[in-house]
Structure 1
Amino acid sequence: MSTLPSAPSATGQSGTPSNKKGQEGLKRTLKLRHLVFIGLAYMAPLAVFDMFGIVAEETRGHVPLAYLVVMVAVLFTAYSYSKMVKFFPIAGSAYTYAKEAINPHVGFLVGWAATLDYLLLPMINAILSGIYMGAIMPDVPFGVWVVLTIAICTVLNLVGVKLAASMNMILVGIQLVVAVIFVVLTVKNIMSGANDAAFTIAPFFSSDIQVVSIAAGAAILALSFLGFDAVSTLAEEAEKPTRDIPRAIFIIIAVAGAFFITVTYVMQVLFPDVTELGDIVGASPEIAQYIGGAAFQAIFVGGYMMAVLGCGITQQMSAARLLYAMGRDGALPKKVFSSINKRTGVPVVNVMIVAAIALTALFVDLDQAASMINFGAFIAFTFVNLSVIFVFFKFLQRRDLKSVLLFVIVPGIGAAINIGLWASLDSLSMMIGGGWIIAGFIYLLVKTRGFKNPAPDLTGPINIGMYE
């Protein structure tokens, strides 16, 4: 249910924001609190429940520790984002930073990798819908929920419906209320001795910890943090971008990290061994029934499904508009991807393409889907860190110890951590992600005539009309 990190920049080579209404620039109206809320809304609080069962089994009961590991990795990357936004206070993300600091062709491939994430997010959303609805209606086949979820999101996108900011606030509010009730009921069960549970440090440390398993679990859980950098695309709409965007990024990670660790800690304490549950993949709704009965399970799944549909609509819309923007700017064939329905203003072909890709949810497991999405995310995070190092060598004159520490060593550690997590992804994700990168490289090679011509621009959906 999580959303992606920020889309590639809606800027041209010059960094000037594109604007379909002919305005000279985006209005600077967003304060720190707005940036923080937008980032948290993109991350979707109930995402904490998505992978609990799978990661609990993978880490042998150390989900909070795995969250702590990935949070540290994300903090290093957040530091690099905070540096890059000060050098390039334009609407942008990993694509923009890699393009400006390293090389436009490298930037294209980074953006290409992130594009895979956009195309696959609706798929994982449909998988989660099938898992959660299957928990309360086990007699209905999994595929029915998958197809129904994709169909609803597709129809709403085809008629031009999009979620307003007020709707996002309502959805996030519902998620937070459901999550808080979940934690309270879990703590109540622990204190009453349910399942012989007791508060210990075992979810963070025990004698059977395996580094490889923790790294693999952290690599999967990175999905929960995708979206923390969405605020970096709002640099041209923030009142004080060089000050507030770095602050917002760190606040978002701190709040989300504390939330994720707290929720999974009480869940892990109550069920240190998830194999006791009937369905490991659907562990969260099963735990919801255990702590609050069928009534709370229905509330839990109902709240989750509202968020799933909200995310599904925006994810499909974002992916379709990303394809449209790439087609419009010549990064993809214009005849196919830049067509718009004259009546609704919707890129119908792109919406249907994204829906078709989402139907692969019928054949992919949840952990495989998460790994495939994280493939592009770890590449993007790695290159944000590397961009800081390139800024140091290409643009900075200072070569003192402090500068080396802040611009080389710290982002270097961040890049190394992300590469390590990327290497922990499963083989299927490596094959699909690697194939996607190779396809992008071949396309770039042909498009630029052997790198003789400039790389095509990649623009993204987040800044296009969302806050008009």
Structure 2
Amino acid sequence: MTTHTAEVNIATKGASSATTLKRSLGLWAIVGLGLGYMTPTTVFDTFGIVSNETNGAVPLAYLVALVAMVFTAVSYGRMTRVFPSAGSAYTYTSETIHPNLGFLVGWASLLDYLLLPLVNALLIRIYMESFFPDVPAWIWVVAYVIVITVLNLWSMKSTSKINGFLVVFEVVLIGVFLVLAWNALSHGDGNGSLFTTTPLFHDGVDASAIMSGATVVCFSFIGFDAITMYTEEAKDTKTVPKAIVLALLIGGAIFFVAAWFGQSVFPTLDGFQNTDDTLPEMALKVGGEFFKILFTSAAFAATVASSLSSHASVSRMIFVMGRNGRGPVSRLFSFVHPRFQTPSFAVIFVGAVSMLAIPFTLEFVSSMINFGALIAFTFVNLTVVVYFVFRKKEYRTPREVFTNILLPVIGMVLTGVLWANLNLDALTYGAIWFGIGVLCLLVITKGFRSRLSVSMREEDAVELDG
């Protein structure tokens, strides 16, 4: 065995008879899950917030966030090749630096992964309340969460097919919006032309405002990293790094182009009644009442797609953390249903957490979303340096310095800057969550005196040795 796998406690006992996750996902199914997680219509929901934050430079905020994410996506792709196991930043940090630190990184990112399905359930509650104000809100949350949970329990392949259909539907509707926006511009609305740099640069735009806006839209990009959670369900693990980059670039292109058209048609928010969620009014202004209904239905579909993919990915992360833990709770979460080949108890647990959409508000939950994700992004970049430079000693040629030091360090700096620009609520609640994680680790390791084990599947260890 190589050095890094020698430190890994591989659970081989009963490996031949253990139930494993089913390998049913191809390249585009995984890309679709990533796009579904990213929710392309979010660019219209948050347009008013980001436009106010950046003083009318929404496309530039997305461009800055995309550049920061590209460096991190490259790091994710490289570490996925080295460790073809679900678990994402948790797995990479555990195996390259220390399992105890990996637990804390996983715990931090778990906050965001758990909150995303909850946010989607909350959005559905808000949508349905607006249509049926007399129906108790809890009914919509319970019914919706049960449907999403059952679909995730049933089959990963079925989940990806439904997700793919919903993603195609919302992307088609975004394309219709772009056509209608082009028509509005040709009739002199907004800037009167697409061919202007005004959406990127104009008086009143400054770097600090753009960074604040980039921190907000960074939430939209959370999803490309979640693709790593499907590594153990990919037909070929070699497709996962490609899927990560494709999902990020396709999603980033949709965000940027949609933001450019939107900012060109609406250089200011004059005339908007609600700037907290501008999607319905943007659709109404460019396409009338019928298109508003269609576009709102696309946003509904996008939320469902995001629910399916985010619920699936966080349950896989809980599954891996359970597989590497000790005691009855860990055994429960690491259980794979023998018929459906899905981590059933982890899926049910995520559904139970999503029920908190009944009492919580969107403002409270969304304030905590980016905290753990940016910590995870930073550590994934760090693991590239630790593994390739300190473990493999690959730093002697200009190419190795560029790929193993320069690129991941740039990724760390950019995600660190975004993290530093999070609002106070996100930092406060995130710190409380992180503190709970430290206490849990203190108990599990008996005062940090013991080292957590990291359990990979036997066939993955063989691939690493090869």
TM-score range, shorter-chain basis? Answer: 0.7 to 0.9
Equivalent positions of 1:269-348 (< 5 A) are: 269-312=264-307, 315-316=310-311, 319=314, 330=325, 334=329, 347=345
Contact 1:19 1:25 in 2 (8 A): no
Q: Paired residue for 1:465?
A: none
Equivalent positions of 1:152-231 (< 5 A) are: 152-156=143-147, 164-195=159-190, 197-199=192-194, 200-231=196-227
AA partner of residue 182 (structure 1)? F
SS of structure 2 residue aligned to 1:164: helix
- C-alpha distance in structure 1 between counterparts of 2:424 and 2:327, whole Å: 28
- C-alpha distance in structure 2 between counterparts of 1:332 and 1:65, whole Å: 49
Q: Paired residue for 2:133?
A: 140
AA partner of residue 413 (structure 1)? I
Question: Cα 1:132–1:263, aligned 2, differ >3 Å: closer, same or farther?
Answer: farther
- C-alpha distance in structure 2 between counterparts of 1:179 and 1:355, whole Å: 28
Task: Give the share of equivalent positions with the same residue, in percent.
Answer: 35
SS of structure 2 residue aligned to 1:357: helix
- How many residues align? The count is 440
Contact 1:319 1:354 in 2 (8 A): no
1:98 matched to 2:93: yes
- C-alpha distance in structure 1 between counterparts of 2:259 and 2:17, whole Å: 46
- C-alpha distance in structure 2 between counterparts of 1:354 and 1:325, whole Å: 18
- C-alpha distance in structure 2 between counterparts of 1:421 and 1:21, whole Å: 45
SS of structure 2 residue aligned to 1:412: helix
Contact 2:224 2:247 in 1 (8 A): yes
Please report how far the alpha carbon of residue 167 of structure 1 lies from its aligned counterpart in structure 2 after TM superposition. Answer: 1.4
AA partner of residue 142 (structure 2)? A
Q: TM-score, normalised by structure 2?
A: 0.82
- C-alpha distance in structure 2 between counterparts of 1:100 and 1:339, whole Å: 19
AA partner of residue 372 (structure 1)? M
1:427 corresponds to which of 413, 424, 443: 424
1:443 matched to 2:440: yes
SS of structure 1 residue aligned to 2:204: coil
- C-alpha distance in structure 2 between counterparts of 1:373 and 1:17, whole Å: 38
Contact 1:17 1:25 in 2 (8 A): no
Question: Cα 1:84–1:177, aligned 2, differ >3 Å: closer, same or farther?
Answer: same
- C-alpha distance in structure 1 between counterparts of 2:96 and 2:61, whole Å: 32
Please report how far the alpha carbon of residue 16 of structure 1 lies from its aligned counterpart in structure 2 after TM superposition. Answer: 8.0
Contact 2:94 2:102 in 1 (8 A): yes
2:112 corresponds to which of 109, 117, 124: 117
Contact 2:43 2:255 in 1 (8 A): yes
SS of structure 1 residue aligned to 2:41: helix
Please report how far the alpha carbon of residue 333 of structure 1 lies from its aligned counterpart in structure 2 after TM superposition. Answer: 6.7
Unaligned runs of 5+ in 1: 1-11, 460-468
SS of structure 1 residue aligned to 2:358: helix
AA partner of residue 261 (structure 1)? F
- C-alpha distance in structure 1 between counterparts of 2:174 and 2:180, whole Å: 10
Unaligned runs of 5+ in 2: 1-7, 457-466
AA partner of residue 124 (structure 1)? V
1:80 matched to 2:75: yes
* More moved, 348-357 vs 188-197: 348-357
- C-alpha distance in structure 2 between counterparts of 1:339 and 1:59, whole Å: 44
1:58 corresponds to which of 35, 50, 53: 53
Q: Paired residue for 1:6?
A: none
Q: Paired residue for 1:386?
A: 382
Please report how far the alpha carbon of residue 290 of structure 1 lies from its aligned counterpart in structure 2 after TM superposition. Answer: 0.9
AA partner of residue 402 (structure 1)? R
- C-alpha distance in structure 1 between counterparts of 2:323 and 2:240, whole Å: 29
Please report how far the alpha carbon of residue 23 of structure 1 lies from its aligned counterpart in structure 2 after TM superposition. Answer: 5.1
AA partner of residue 37 (structure 2)? Y
AA partner of residue 189 (structure 2)? A
SS of structure 1 residue aligned to 2:368: helix
Contact 2:27 2:243 in 1 (8 A): yes
Contact 1:66 1:217 in 2 (8 A): yes
Question: Cα 1:233–1:190, aligned 2, differ >3 Å: closer, same or farther?
Answer: same
Question: Cα 1:407–1:339, aligned 2, differ >3 Å: closer, same or farther?
Answer: closer
Please report how far the alpha carbon of residue 80 of structure 1 lies from its aligned counterpart in structure 2 after TM superposition. Answer: 1.1
Contact 2:86 2:320 in 1 (8 A): no
Structure 1, residues 5-34: CA drift from partner, whole Å, max 9, x if none?
Answer: xxxxxxx8439899897257864x655444
Q: Paired residue for 2:142?
A: 151
Q: TM-score, normalised by structure 1?
A: 0.82
AA partner of residue 368 (structure 2)? M
Q: Compute the RMSD of aligned alpha carbons.
A: 3.6
Contact 2:167 2:305 in 1 (8 A): no
